[in-house]
């Protein structure tokens, strides 16, 4: 399994710690697409970059972190085929996979602590999509035009 991770400056510290957790604890490959320091950055730049990386099919899942997680989820969800879920607890992380087939986990670096972030990542990556009636609903998410 290959993971791609990105953040703005507000999510930088949590991103660094999540990277270590994914590598050392989960023993998975993770590619960091920035930012690489804490100087001020614009979350849409990284959000679009990571969404495009996900759609390239090079990665199984993405993780985005900004201050609240709100900006990153707004940006990523502009991309057809991306289902970015802003999660704050294990329940939402689990059901974002089971029912929504989320492909990007979004977190707020100024909102949650390391422990909950790590367990959300573990849950998100381990939980399969339930399919069935949820497949029909997920297929209705993307629209070509109004
Ligand atoms: C940066 O200050 C902050 O606005 C950004 O990280 C994010 O929370 C936006 O939604």
Show the CA angle centred on residue 84, arms to residues 40 and 99, nearest 5°. Answer: 155
Residues 16, 11: Cα–Cα separation, whole Å = 9
Residues 46, 40: Cα–Cα separation, whole Å = 12
Q: Parallel, antiparallel, or unpaired for β 104-108 and 84-86?
A: parallel
DSSP per residue over 90-141, as a string?
HHHHHHHHHTT--SEEEEETTTS-HHHHHHHHHHHHHPPP--THHHHHHHTT
Q: What is the mean pLDDT of the chain?
A: 97
CB 62 within 8 A of CB 53: yes
Please tell me the residue having the least CA distance from ligand 1 atom 8.
67
pLDDT the model gives residue 139 = 97
99 labelled catalytic: yes
pLDDT the model gives residue 118 = 98
Distance 117 CA to ligand 1 centre (A): 17
Distance 144 CA to ligand 1 centre (A): 29
CB of residue 8 inside a 6 A radius of ligand 1: yes
The structural domains of the chain, with segments of one domain joined by +, span 2-139
Nearest to 114 by CA among 25, 8, 2, 32: 25
CATH topology of domain 2-139: Ribose 5-phosphate Isomerase B; Chain: A, (3.40.1400)
87 labelled catalytic: no
Compute the Cα dihedral for 45, 119, 123, 25 and give only its sign.
positive
Distance 29 CA to ligand 1 centre (A): 27
CB of residue 67 inside a 6 A radius of ligand 1: yes
Please tell me the residue having the least CA distance from ligand 1 atom 7.
67
Residues 51-68 pLDDT 10s: 999 999 999 999 999 999
CB 4 within 8 A of CB 50: yes
CB of residue 66 inside a 6 A radius of ligand 1: yes
Q: What's the pLDDT band for 21 if we cut at 50, 70, 90?
A: very high
pTM over cut 0.85? yes
């Amino acid at each position: 399994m290959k993971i791609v991770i990105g953040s703005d400056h507000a999510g930088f510290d949590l991103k660094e710690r999540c990277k270590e957790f994914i590598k050392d604890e989960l023993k998975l490959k993770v590619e960091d697409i920035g930012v690489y320091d804490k100087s001020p950055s614009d979350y849409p730049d990284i959000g679009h970059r990571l969404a495009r990386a996900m759609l390239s099919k090079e990665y199984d899942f993405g993780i985005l972190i900004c201050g609240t997680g709100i900006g990153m989820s707004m940006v990523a969800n502009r991309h057809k085929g991306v289902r970015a879920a802003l999660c704050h607890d294990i329940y939402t992380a689990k059901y974002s996979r089971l029912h929504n087939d989320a492909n990007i986990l979004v977190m707020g670096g100024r909102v949650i602590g390391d422990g909950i972030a790590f367990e959300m990542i573990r849950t998100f990556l381990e939980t399969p999509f339930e399919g069935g009636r949820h497949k029909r609903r997920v297929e209705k998410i993307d629209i070509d035009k109004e």
